[in-house]
């Protein structure tokens, strides 16, 4: 039986419970949700002896404060939010023992955007459609389908065995900075814009907008120019309209040709806008750590390169890369 392990004192800017997501319902309009930076959640879980897909806490831009309600082992991964345990600096990417009554504190992200807090045994919230992940728009998963609030108590199953001091091989610790390269596969409708616009998309700097969130990451940059085409009245009046079709997570829509919106883990399943490209799955983690006004360059890769990059990303998040 689970017992309270952690109490939220202050939630921070936006903190939610996330596992690796809710698979199989996107055709019904329910997105996978789940940790935006999957590498960070997977490693956090492995550090505290959990299966990689267990639920942890995802904090955004500014972290919260938490009280430890019973002895446990924790790990902090992802963005650097100056984590402290009872006031002492807490290293990231490393498991640490936390005693009953201790206080865990997080500040503003110094680099990167999202920080994960994992605890031995995981976070015991009800599974909804096969996942503990919070989907804010649908108000399901996590703690009553909402962000964490002060006073929330999170349960964890007792008896989990974990090794304090276990850490990630240092060479695999990602660095986050204000210039980010994201790899994409062009299409499926890149032929709706001019060749020059495709070239511009792949060479010009874009900026993460203040509207970027878990639903979609919005980028500001040069506008797209559309090719002359036969009027498809049923698609809509704007040249950026198409007859609605399905989105992939990572699909990049260009409504009006004015902005680029990349579907995040809470993305919508359909859309009536040209999709210039799709972010490769391996780089979703990198997008998750990009923050407002960071500079982004998009680089086109092939399916084969995207698949190889994903295999490599999954291998890096494997238990073989932990020390201790």
Partner 1 sequence: MDVKAQLPGRVTEVLVQHGQAVTKGAVLVALEVMKTRVEVRADRDGTVNHVAVKDGDEVLMGQLLVRLAP
Which positions lie near partner 1, rule CB under 8 A? 13-14, 60-62, 108, 209-213, 215, 291-293
Q: Least CB distance from residue 264 to partner 1, whole Å? A: 11
Bridge-based pairing of strands 295-300 and 179-186 is: parallel
Q: Least CB distance from residue 87 to partner 1, whole Å? A: 21
Residue 66 CB burial class (10 angstroms; 0-12, 13-18, ≥19)? buried
Residue 138 or 188: the one with the smaller Cβ distance to partner 1 is 138
Joined tokens for residue 67: 């009280």
Residues 280 and 301 sit within 8 Å (Cβ to Cβ): yes
Q: Least CB distance from residue 172 to partner 1, whole Å? A: 27
Residue 70 or 211: the one with the smaller Cβ distance to partner 1 is 211
Q: Least CB distance from residue 214 to partner 1, whole Å? A: 9
Residues 6 or more apart whose CB falls under 8 angstroms from that of 320 comprise none
Residues 306 and 280 sit within 8 Å (Cβ to Cβ): yes
Q: Least CB distance from residue 272 to partner 1, whole Å? A: 21
Residue 3 or 137: the one with the smaller Cβ distance to partner 1 is 137
Q: Least CB distance from residue 31 to partner 1, whole Å? A: 16
- Residue 169's alpha-carbon distances to 27, 238, 310, in angstroms, are 39, 50, 19
Q: Least CB distance from residue 294 to partner 1, whole Å? A: 9
Dihedral sign from CA coordinates of 205, 211, 282, 252: negative
Q: Least CB distance from residue 210 to partner 1, whole Å? A: 4
Please provide the DSSP assignment of 240-271 as one string: TEEEEEEPPTTEEE-GGGTEEEEE-TT--SEE
Residue 20 or 215: the one with the smaller Cβ distance to partner 1 is 215
Q: How far is CA 114 from the centre of its chain?
A: 7
Residue 13 or 225: the one with the smaller Cβ distance to partner 1 is 13
DSSP state of 227: P
Please provide the DSSP assignment of 196-209 as one string: HHHHHHHHS-EEE-
Residue 166 or 291: the one with the smaller Cβ distance to partner 1 is 291
Residues 6 or more apart whose CB falls under 8 angstroms from that of 147 comprise 11, 14, 15, 16, 134, 136
Residue 37 or 124: the one with the smaller Cβ distance to partner 1 is 37
Q: Least CB distance from residue 293 to partner 1, whole Å? A: 5
Residue 13 or 86: the one with the smaller Cβ distance to partner 1 is 13
Joined tokens for residue 276: 């210039």
First to last CA, the chain: 29
Residues 280 and 185 sit within 8 Å (Cβ to Cβ): yes
Residue 12 or 44: the one with the smaller Cβ distance to partner 1 is 12
């Amino acid at each position: 039986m689970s017992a309270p392990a952690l109490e939220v004192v202050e939630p921070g800017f936006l903190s939610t419970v996330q596992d690796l997501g809710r698979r199989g319902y996107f055709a019904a309009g329910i997105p996978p949700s789940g940790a935006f930076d999957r590498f960070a959640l997977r490693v956090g879980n492995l550090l505290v002896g959990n299966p990689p897909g267990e639920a942890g806490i995802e904090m955004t831009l500014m972290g919260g404060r938490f009280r430890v309600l019973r002895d446990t082992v924790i790990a902090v991964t992802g963005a650097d939010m100056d984590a402290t345990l009872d006031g002492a600096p807490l290293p990231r990417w490393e498991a640490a023992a936390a005693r009953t009554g201790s206080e865990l504190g997080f500040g503003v992200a110094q680099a990167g955007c999202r920080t994960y807090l994992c605890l031995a045994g995981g976070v015991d919230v009800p599974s909804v459609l096969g996942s503990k992940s919070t989907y804010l728009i649908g108000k399901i998963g996590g703690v009553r389908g909402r962000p964490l609030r002060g006073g929330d108590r999170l349960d964890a199953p007792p008896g989990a065995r974990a090794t304090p001091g276990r850490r990630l091989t240092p060479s695999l610790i990602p660095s986050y900075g204000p210039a980010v390269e994201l790899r994409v596969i062009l299409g499926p409708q890149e032929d709706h814009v001019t060749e020059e616009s495709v070239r511009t998309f792949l060479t010009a700097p874009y900026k993460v907008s203040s509207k970027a969130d878990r639903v979609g990451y919005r980028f500001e940059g040069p506008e797209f120019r559309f090719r002359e085409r036969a009027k498809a009245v049923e698609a809509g009046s704007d040249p950026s309209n198409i007859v609605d079709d399905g989105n992939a997570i990572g699909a990049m829509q260009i409504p009006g040709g004015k902005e680029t919106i990349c579907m995040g883990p809470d993305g919508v399943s359909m859309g009536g806008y040209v999709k210039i490209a799709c972010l490769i799955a391996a780089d979703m983690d990198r997008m998750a750590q990009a923050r407002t006004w960071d500079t982004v360059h998009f680089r086109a890769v092939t399916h084969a390169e995207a698949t190889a990059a994903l295999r490599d990303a999954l291998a890096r998040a494997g238990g073989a890369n932990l020390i201790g």
